[in-house]
Amino acid sequence: MAVQKILRMGDARLLRVAEPIREFNSPVLDRLIQDMFDTMAALDGAGLAAPQIGVNQRLVIFGIESNPRYPDVEPVPTTVLINPEIEILSDEMDEAWEGCLSVPGLRGLVPRYTRLRYRGYDQTGRRFEREVHGFHARVVQHECDHLDGILYPRRIRDLTQFGFEEDLFPEQGAE
């Protein structure tokens, strides 16, 4: 288990545009992906982008079975997504609360597109694509934003809907 330190908002490395991965099936890549899964699991995250652990490459992971941080959301398959491309399928957006391991303790109400198709590669270099909606589409947009140096607070339309989780949702009690 190799849990890595997560960079937090304010660290300039989170603002970079990440570089495409060119070599698949390598021990270095496999180790990076394992470290990312270990880190995400240790922190109960729904997703993690390589730049969040200081690796400036276009690689994200995500997946939710049942997660105490997201008790009401539909499951998302455990996915390794490299060099992603997103095609928005509808202009429709909705708003939901998001958090981020790089913005600990805070939540914001973020608009996202509701339907999209994404394409990319898994860790073996196999190309795949999926058409998704709802929470799955939201997670993909959040994680892929990290690859372009964008943290979710920049997507919030109304900054009154951004704050500390404990204070926004006191009825939920301490986690």
Three-state DSSP class for residue 164: strand
Footprint of Ni ion on 119-158 (CB under 5 A): none
Rounded to whole angstroms, the Cα distance separating 86 from 100 reads 20
Q: Which is nearer to Ni ion, 29 or 139 (CB)?
A: 139
Smallest gap from Cβ 17 to Ni ion, in A, equals 16
Smallest gap from Cβ 133 to Ni ion, in A, equals 20
Residue selected from 100, 116, 132, 137 as contacting Ni ion according to rule CB under 5 A: 100
**Residue whose beta carbon is closest to Ni ion:** 100
Q: Which is nearer to Ni ion, 134 or 153 (CB)?
A: 153
Candidate list 129, 131, 143, 171, residue with the active-site label:
143
User: Does 23 qualify as catalytic in the annotation?
Assistant: no
Interface mask (CB under 5 A) for Ni ion, residues 46-85, using x and -? Answer: ----------------------------------------
Those residues whose C-beta lies under 8 Å from the C-beta of residue 146, and which sit 6 or more positions away, are 14, 18, 49, 51, 52, 60, 102
Q: Nearest Cα to 48, choosing from 80, 13, 74, 19?
A: 80
Q: Nearest Cα to 41, choosing from 33, 143, 12?
A: 33
Rounded to whole angstroms, the Cα distance separating 58 from 46 reads 17
Rounded to whole angstroms, the Cα distance separating 40 from 63 reads 10
Q: Which is nearer to Ni ion, 40 or 100 (CB)?
A: 100
Active site residues: 143
Contact residues: Ni ion, CB under 5 A:
100
